[in-house]
Structure 1
C-alpha cells in the first residue's frame, strides 16, 4: 500500500475511533493502519496535530525528520459521516 493511501486511511479511521470510543472495530482498524505506517513506511509518532475549519493536520516522523501532511477536513471526515448516517452502525 502506498504511503499516501495508508496515511489517509489511518486519518479517516482515527477520526472514527476518536468520535466512537466504544467502537472496537474502529480501534482495531486504526491499529492495523498504524502498523502499516510503522512497519512498511517506517513512520513514527503519527498523530493528528490540529484540526481547523477546513483542514486536518497530521504530523509524523520519517527518517529522523518531522513532516506534516494536511487533508481536507470534509474529505477526511467522510467515513465518520457515512457511518453516522447508517442506522445499522448506531
Structure 2
C-alpha cells in the first residue's frame, strides 16, 4: 500500500496529507512530518524529511538517515507520551 501511494504521488505530483500513528510509515512516506502535542493537540514541530531518492529499489528503512529521522521523531513523541501519562496519574489521584 505504501509503495502504491508513493507511486501515485510521484506520478501525479499532487499534495497528499497522510495521517498516521506509525513513525516508520511517516518517515518512509513523508517529505515533512508534523509532530503534535498531547492535549491539546497542537503542532509541536515540523521535521523535514529529505531523501535523495524514493524508488521501490531503494532500501530507505535500512539507511542511517532513516534511523536518524525515526529517532528524532520518537524523541519528540516520547516527551508527549510522558506528559500525557503524568496528566493521567494526576487526574486519577484527585
Q: What is the TM-score with the length of structure 2 in the denominator?
A: 0.27
